[in-house]
Chains A and B, each alone.
Chain A
Amino acid sequence: MKAWLRSSFRRRIFITVLLVTMVPVLFSALMMQVQIRRSESALARQAKGQLAQMEEAFDQLCQSYIRLSDTLCASTAVRSPLRAGNGRSRVLYQILFRETDAFRDCAVFSFFDREGQCLYTTGEAPPAVTLRPDWGVLYAAGQSDGLVFQRGGETGETVFQRGGEAAALWAARAVRSYDRRILGYLVITMTRSDFDRFFGGMYQASGNIILLDRTWRAVYHSRPSQEAVSVAALRRQLLDGEPLAGDSGEYNFYAARQELTGFSLILEQPRVFTATVVRAVYQTSLLMSGLCVLLCLWCSWRLSRRLARPVHELDEAMGEVEKGNLDVQLPEGREDELGRLAGSFNKMVREYRLNLERSVGREREMNEVRIRMLQAQLNPHFLYNTLDSMKWLGVTHQVPQVAALAADLATILRAGISGGEFITLEQELELLDRYVDIQSLRFEDRFTCEIDVGERFLGCLVPRLLLQPLVENAIIHGVADKDDGYIKVWAEEDEGALLLSVSDNGCGIPPDILDRLNSGEKIPGSHLGLFNVSTILRLHFGEEYGLSAGSEAGRGSRVSLRLPILRG
Chain B
Amino acid sequence: MRRSFQIAVLLCVILLGLSLSASGCAGGGEFSVRGPEEDSRLTVCTPLPEEIWVPVIEEFENRTGIWVQVETGSSPELLGQIAAEGGSFCDLVLGVSGENLEACGSLFLPCESGFSSRIQPDYRVPDGLWTPFSVLPVVLIYNSHLVRDNPPAGWDALLNSAWRGRIAFADPAADGASFAALSALRQLFSGEEGAGGEDAALRAFAANLGGRQFTLSSDVIAEVSSGNCYIGVTTEDASLRNMSEGGNIAVVYPREGAAEFCDGMAVVSGCAHEDNARQFLDFVLSDDVQRFLEEVCARRSVLSGLAGEKQEKEADS
Of B3-11, B101-109, B200-208, the one touching chain A: B3-11
Judged by a CB distance under 8 angstroms, whether B26 is at the interface is yes
Q: For B54, what are the chain A residues with a Cβ–Cβ distance below 8 Å? A: 154, 156
- Distance in Å: Cβ of A563 to nearest Cβ of chain B: 55
Q: For B66, what are the chain A residues with a Cβ–Cβ distance below 8 Å? A: 215
Judged by a CB distance under 8 angstroms, whether B126 is at the interface is no
- Distance in Å: Cβ of B4 to nearest Cβ of chain A: 10
- Whether A26 contacts B16 in the complex (CB less than 8 A), given A136-B59, A239-B41, comes out as yes
- Whether A139 contacts B67 in the complex (CB less than 8 A), given A30-B18, A253-B29, comes out as no
Q: Which of B267-305 contact A (CB under 8 A)?
A: 287-288, 291-292, 296-297
Instruction: Among A22, A23, A217, A271, point to the contact of B58 (Cβ < 8 A).
Output: A217
A118 to B261 alpha-carbon distance, docked (Å): 38
- 0/1 string, A216-254, CB within 8 A of B gives 1: 110000000000000000001011110110000000111
- 0/1 string, B7-30, CB within 8 A of A gives 1: 011011001101100110111111
- Across the interface, do A215 and B68 meet the contact criterion of CB distance under 8 Å? yes
Residue from the set B29, B41, B61, B62 with the largest chain A CB neighbour count within 10 Å: B29
A275 to B23 alpha-carbon distance, docked (Å): 11
- Across the interface, do A30 and B67 meet the contact criterion of CB distance under 8 Å? no
Give the nearest-CB partner of B292 in chain A: A135
Judged by a CB distance under 8 angstroms, whether B317 is at the interface is no
Judged by a CB distance under 8 angstroms, whether A48 is at the interface is yes
Of A34-42, A342-350, A504-512, the one touching chain B: A34-42
Count residues of B near A (Cβ-Cβ below 8 Å): 43
- Across the interface, do B28 and A243 meet the contact criterion of CB distance under 8 Å? yes
Give the nearest-CB partner of A133 in chain B: B288
- Whether A278 contacts B41 in the complex (CB less than 8 A), given A134-B291, A156-B297, A239-B67, comes out as no
Judged by a CB distance under 8 angstroms, whether B33 is at the interface is yes
Give the nearest-CB partner of A19 in chain B: B8
A26 to B16 alpha-carbon distance, docked (Å): 6
- Across the interface, do B30 and A215 meet the contact criterion of CB distance under 8 Å? no
Give the nearest-CB partner of A253 in chain B: B29
Judged by a CB distance under 8 angstroms, whether A418 is at the interface is no
- Across the interface, do A155 and B31 meet the contact criterion of CB distance under 8 Å? no
- Whether A239 contacts B35 in the complex (CB less than 8 A), given A135-B288, A156-B297, A215-B61, comes out as yes
Q: For B62, what are the chain A residues with a Cβ–Cβ distance below 8 Å? A: 136, 140, 150, 213-215
Judged by a CB distance under 8 angstroms, whether A104 is at the interface is no
- Distance in Å: Cβ of A207 to nearest Cβ of chain B: 12
Q: Which of A263-281 contact B (CB under 8 A)?
A: 264, 269, 271, 273, 275, 278
Judged by a CB distance under 8 angstroms, whether B36 is at the interface is yes
Judged by a CB distance under 8 angstroms, whether B81 is at the interface is no
Q: Which of B29-87 contact A (CB under 8 A)?
A: 29-36, 41, 51, 54-55, 58-59, 61-63, 65-69
- Whether A278 contacts B8 in the complex (CB less than 8 A), given A156-B297, A239-B35, comes out as no
A389 to B28 alpha-carbon distance, docked (Å): 128
- Across the interface, do B35 and A40 meet the contact criterion of CB distance under 8 Å? no
Q: For A253, what are the chain B residues with a Cβ–Cβ distance below 8 Å? A: 29, 31
Q: For B5, what are the chain A residues with a Cβ–Cβ distance below 8 Å? A: 15-16, 19
- 0/1 string, A1-26, CB within 8 A of B gives 1: 00000000000000110011011001
Q: For A217, what are the chain B residues with a Cβ–Cβ distance below 8 Å? A: 58, 61
- Whether A19 contacts B22 in the complex (CB less than 8 A), given A214-B65, A215-B67, comes out as no
- Across the interface, do B65 and A155 meet the contact criterion of CB distance under 8 Å? no
- Across the interface, do A241 and B35 meet the contact criterion of CB distance under 8 Å? yes
- Across the interface, do A282 and B23 meet the contact criterion of CB distance under 8 Å? yes
A261 to B11 alpha-carbon distance, docked (Å): 54
- Distance in Å: Cβ of B179 to nearest Cβ of chain A: 28
A62 to B59 alpha-carbon distance, docked (Å): 22
Q: For B16, what are the chain A residues with a Cβ–Cβ distance below 8 Å? A: 26
- Across the interface, do B31 and A243 meet the contact criterion of CB distance under 8 Å? yes
- Distance in Å: Cβ of B102 to nearest Cβ of chain A: 29
A253 to B41 alpha-carbon distance, docked (Å): 23
Q: For B8, what are the chain A residues with a Cβ–Cβ distance below 8 Å? A: 19-20, 23
Give the nearest-CB partner of A26 in chain B: B15
A36 to B288 alpha-carbon distance, docked (Å): 54
Residue from the set B27, B28, B67, B68 with the largest chain A CB neighbour count within 10 Å: B27
- Across the interface, do B25 and A257 meet the contact criterion of CB distance under 8 Å? no
- Across the interface, do B65 and A215 meet the contact criterion of CB distance under 8 Å? yes
- Distance in Å: Cβ of A151 to nearest Cβ of chain B: 8
- Across the interface, do A19 and B12 meet the contact criterion of CB distance under 8 Å? yes
Give the nearest-CB partner of A2 in chain B: B2
Judged by a CB distance under 8 angstroms, whether A318 is at the interface is no
Q: Which of A141-165 contact B (CB under 8 A)?
A: 150-151, 154-157
Judged by a CB distance under 8 angstroms, whether A132 is at the interface is yes
A252 to B30 alpha-carbon distance, docked (Å): 8
- Whether A252 contacts B61 in the complex (CB less than 8 A), given A23-B8, A135-B288, comes out as no
A23 to B288 alpha-carbon distance, docked (Å): 71
Q: For A285, what are the chain B residues with a Cβ–Cβ distance below 8 Å? A: 19
Give the nearest-CB partner of B61 in chain A: A215
Q: For A154, what are the chain B residues with a Cβ–Cβ distance below 8 Å? A: 51, 54-55, 58
Judged by a CB distance under 8 angstroms, whether A44 is at the interface is yes
- Whether A252 contacts B292 in the complex (CB less than 8 A), given A154-B55, A156-B297, A215-B67, comes out as no
- Across the interface, do A243 and B29 meet the contact criterion of CB distance under 8 Å? yes
- Whether A134 contacts B288 in the complex (CB less than 8 A), given A252-B27, A257-B33, comes out as yes
- Distance in Å: Cβ of B299 to nearest Cβ of chain A: 12
- Across the interface, do A255 and B26 meet the contact criterion of CB distance under 8 Å? no
Give the nearest-CB partner of B297 in chain A: A156
Judged by a CB distance under 8 angstroms, whether A256 is at the interface is yes
- Whether A36 contacts B26 in the complex (CB less than 8 A), given A135-B292, A255-B32, comes out as yes
Q: For B59, what are the chain A residues with a Cβ–Cβ distance below 8 Å? A: 135-136, 139, 155
- Across the interface, do A239 and B55 meet the contact criterion of CB distance under 8 Å? no
- Whether A30 contacts B22 in the complex (CB less than 8 A), given A44-B30, A132-B292, A139-B288, comes out as yes
Judged by a CB distance under 8 angstroms, whether A29 is at the interface is yes
Q: For A140, what are the chain B residues with a Cβ–Cβ distance below 8 Å? A: 62-63
A416 to B297 alpha-carbon distance, docked (Å): 146
Q: For A282, what are the chain B residues with a Cβ–Cβ distance below 8 Å? A: 23
Q: For B27, what are the chain A residues with a Cβ–Cβ distance below 8 Å? A: 40, 252, 271, 273, 275, 278
Q: Which of A35-68 contact B (CB under 8 A)?
A: 36-37, 40, 44, 47-48
- Across the interface, do B30 and A254 meet the contact criterion of CB distance under 8 Å? yes
A48 to B22 alpha-carbon distance, docked (Å): 22
Q: For A269, what are the chain B residues with a Cβ–Cβ distance below 8 Å? A: 29
- Across the interface, do B23 and A48 meet the contact criterion of CB distance under 8 Å? no
- Across the interface, do B292 and A30 meet the contact criterion of CB distance under 8 Å? no
Judged by a CB distance under 8 angstroms, whether A382 is at the interface is no
Judged by a CB distance under 8 angstroms, whether A27 is at the interface is yes
Q: For A27, what are the chain B residues with a Cβ–Cβ distance below 8 Å? A: 15
Q: For A243, what are the chain B residues with a Cβ–Cβ distance below 8 Å? A: 28-29, 31
- Across the interface, do B296 and A156 meet the contact criterion of CB distance under 8 Å? yes
- Across the interface, do B12 and A23 meet the contact criterion of CB distance under 8 Å? yes
A318 to B51 alpha-carbon distance, docked (Å): 94
Q: Beyond the given A155-B55, A238-B33, could you list 5 further A-B residue pairs with CB under 8 A, ordered by the A residue number?
A: A29-B15, A134-B292, A214-B61, A240-B35, A273-B26
A-B contact pairs, 24 of them (CB 8 A): A19-B12, A20-B8, A22-B12, A33-B26, A36-B26, A37-B26, A40-B26, A134-B291, A135-B288, A139-B288, A154-B54, A154-B58, A214-B61, A215-B36, A215-B62, A217-B61, A236-B69, A238-B34, A241-B35, A243-B28, A244-B31, A255-B32, A257-B32, A278-B27
The 5 A-B residue pairs whose C-beta atoms are closest, nearest first, are: A33-B22, A156-B55, A26-B15, A252-B29, A253-B29
Name A's B-contacting residues (CB within 8 A).
15-16, 19-20, 22-23, 26-27, 29-30, 33-34, 36-37, 40, 44, 47-48, 132, 134-136, 139-140, 150-151, 154-157, 213-217, 236, 238-241, 243-244, 252-257, 264, 269, 271, 273, 275, 278, 282, 285
Name B's A-contacting residues (CB within 8 A).
5, 8-9, 11-12, 15-16, 18-19, 22-23, 25-36, 41, 51, 54-55, 58-59, 61-63, 65-69, 287-288, 291-292, 296-297
